[in-house]
Amino acid sequence: MNKRSLVSIDDISREEILDLLKRASYFEAHPNHKLLDGKVVATLFFEPSTRTRLSFETAVNRLGGRVIGFSDASTSSSSKGETLKDTIKMVSNYVDLIIMRHYLEGAARYATEVTDVPIINAGDGANQHPSQTLLDLYAIYKTQGTLSDLNITMVGDLKYGRTVHSLLMAMKYFRPTFHFVACDELRMPKIYKEICDRCGITYYEHKELTPEVINATDILYMTRVQRERFSDILEYEKVKNLYTLRRSMLAGSKPNLRVLHPLPRVNEIAQDVDESSKAYYFEQAKGGLYARQAIICRALGIEVPTFSTPSKS
Ligand code: CP
């Protein structure tokens, strides 16, 4: 595996996370720094995406590189039966970096085993979404002034939600207290609760998103119940609308509370929340551009000037 690949958030240390956040801050101030002259990057999306693919591609373009790839695997030779291994080996002949999203857990890790070109995992099934985590951390740092000692409430699909799995693993460095709000069918898997146990992280599980939980929260991380992860559509129908955040529910919340969501949302955040000063999900997604510029430069071994420090991490 190329050591610059980013497959899991666990591939990078606390120090590297903080360094990437500094670099993201640099790119927020200098989004058009042409550091990728002559580089070609592939974006291979075997699953749909709006934000991740477009922000990665914008990041490459703003850095002065070129992008090739596909946003719909049905237009690629995988639809003729070409294996992932052969696809990755072929694309590796053309590019300096591969950014890929795949519906199978472990697909990005597998890709690193068949190429020396660095791989960035843009989401693999219900497993990991490390670039989302970097932008989530960037949003948390920007809104809270720190990553440490925060009350983080995760709501919705905690079973299949790769964004919450990655975020939990990154936050283990920063002494969070977690509140997991989910129905029985979508509870946080045992493996992630065991990580909390091993790292001495306090967590509470709830079935309801109550005022008590909201009012103790610094970061309210809402997630979508993902229809595409259910094999039984009736099971999805049963749980899809269990948690909807409405603006009135934020009335007693802490002044610093911010609502995050990896997006896309369906019904889990009512439109009236958008008008609240505590809604931060669109700014969060915007920061994804800068976080991904930082991730791309790391993957390509390109030095980035830094000036702004997440010093109080
Ligand atoms: N947050 C996220 O991964 O969004 P997309 O599916 O639109 O890329």
For tokens 């890790």, name the residue: 109
Q: How many Å apart are CA 267 and CA 63, to the nearest integer?
A: 35
Q: Is 224 a catalytic residue?
A: no
DSSP helix, strand, coil percent of the chain (3-state; round to 5): 45, 15, 40
Of the candidates 128, 181, 126, 131, which has an alpha carbon nearest to the alpha carbon of residue 151? 181
DSSP 187: P
Cβ(287)–Cβ(294) below 8 Å: no
Q: Is 4 a catalytic residue?
A: no
pLDDT tens-digit profile of 13-32? 999 999 999 999 999 999 99
Q: Is 278 a catalytic residue?
A: no
Q: How many Å apart are CA 130 and CA 184, to the nearest integer?
A: 26
pLDDT tens-digit profile of 184-202? 999 999 999 999 999 999 9
Does 255 have pLDDT greater than 70? yes
pTM over the 0.85 mark = yes
Q: How many Å apart are CA 144 and CA 259, to the nearest integer?
A: 12
pLDDT of res. 248: 98
pLDDT of res. 34: 97
- Cβ neighbors of 20 (< 8 A, separation 6 or more) are 12, 134, 291, 294, 295, 298
Q: How many Å apart are CA 262 and CA 166, to the nearest integer?
A: 12
Q: How many Å apart are CA 91 and CA 140, to the nearest integer?
A: 35
Residue 264, ligand 1, Cβ within 6 A: yes
pLDDT of res. 307: 65
CA 50 / ligand 1 centre spacing (Å): 6
> Which amino acid residue places its CA nearest to atom 5 of ligand 1?
49
pLDDT of res. 240: 86
Q: Where are the alpha helices (DSSP H) in 203-312?
A: 211-215, 233-239, 281-300
pLDDT tens-digit profile of 27-49? 999 999 999 999 999 999 999 99
CA 265 / ligand 1 centre spacing (Å): 10
pLDDT of res. 198: 97
DSSP 271: G
